[in-house]
Amino acid sequence: MTTVVVGAGSMIARALRRHPDAAGWLYLPHQQALTESGWVRDARVVINLAFDPRLKTAAYDPALDVDRRLAAILAPSSCAYIMVSTRMAYGPPGDGLRLAETMPSNPVNYYGTAKLAAERHLLAAQGDRVTVLRLSNIFDPSEAAGERRSFFGMAMRTLAAQGRIIYDMSPFVARDFLPADLLAERLVAVAAHPRPGMFNLGAGFAIRTGRIAQWLIGGYGAGELLVTDFREHDGFWLDMTRSMRTWNFPPVTEPMLRDACIAAGAQLARGDP
């Protein structure tokens, strides 16, 4: 029996492959997972990282929902299912920028709406063996070489191409960030002991985005931050109380985020893939 990761080409899958306890897992492209069923026989846990990008720009369509389709394939089995979701399924945060599992969900974009619909379907249909993980902003140095339109990826690419990081928001906006390698470590722990229900996975605190730019530039060795708009936009942090109590995760610290950002900037300067 093994852990199966669907979405073999994703950034998180790359981080998992670097983890010694996950290197031997079975990694499948989502189309293979959806069209072939032989892999199900040996699956103990399935982690889905795949998502149809069309659901980010249009109304929710169940036919495009990878989680829903995988759940249907796995229904006759007894394996646990880990759905990797997003904090965007919450919608705007509460007082103090906090997002917690007990809060009502009111997503404000197509992506969050689609993830929320998938969560609700899976938890209603197979809730006793479904773990939903709502992630914060996950970052990895490998984003510099791709086209992922994430905060971190765009910052790294403009730093390499233009010698600057460009923000269209205030650098005082604070958000929850988590390095992909640390997320992989926690996914390994969750896969070893899956628990049903919904859980946050993030740093558990918000860091000002200006600090992220400062640390990336520091690691890169040169550059500047250009702010084109000082709007206060999309600040948040994930309350990690439930996840830490369930899996005994050690706390994430600001120095850990700083070191990860500096290392990413240095890797960018070296031109490492």
Instruction: Give me the DSSP letters along 219-250.
Output: HHT--EEEES--------EE--HHHHHHH-PP
Q: At 108, which CATH number?
A: 3.40.50.720
Judgement on whether residues 170 and 95 belong to the same structural domain of the protein: no
Cα 154 from chain centre: 16
Question: Are the beta carbons of 69 and 118 closer than 8 angstroms?
Answer: no
- Within-domain flag for 60: yes
Judgement on whether residues 78 and 133 belong to the same structural domain of the protein: yes
Residue among 213, 209, 211 nearest 223 (CA): 213
- Within-domain flag for 33: yes
Mean pLDDT to the nearest integer, 207-231: 97
- Give 73-129 pLDDT, tens digit per residue: 999 999 999 999 999 999 999 889 999 999 999 999 999 999 999 999 999 998 899
Share of the chain above pLDDT 90, in %: 91
Residues 6+ apart with CB under 8 A from 199: 101, 131, 132, 133, 134, 190, 242, 243, 246
* Tally of structural domains, the chain: 2
Q: Which domain holds residue 163?
A: 141-175+206-235+253-270
- Give 171-195 pLDDT, tens digit per residue: 999 999 999 999 999 999 999 999 9
Judgement on whether residues 56 and 156 belong to the same structural domain of the protein: no
Mean pLDDT to the nearest integer, 212-225: 97
Residue among 117, 23, 29, 36 nearest 73 (CA): 36
Judgement on whether residues 91 and 80 belong to the same structural domain of the protein: yes
pTM, to two decimals: 0.95
- Within-domain flag for 17: yes
In this predicted structure, the answer to whether residue 273 has a pLDDT above a threshold of 70 is no
Judgement on whether residues 186 and 56 belong to the same structural domain of the protein: yes
Judgement on whether residues 7 and 123 belong to the same structural domain of the protein: yes
Judgement on whether residues 170 and 61 belong to the same structural domain of the protein: no
- Within-domain flag for 242: no
Tokens of 242: 């439930």
- Give 116-169 pLDDT, tens digit per residue: 999 999 999 988 999 999 999 999 998 888 777 788 999 999 999 999 999 999
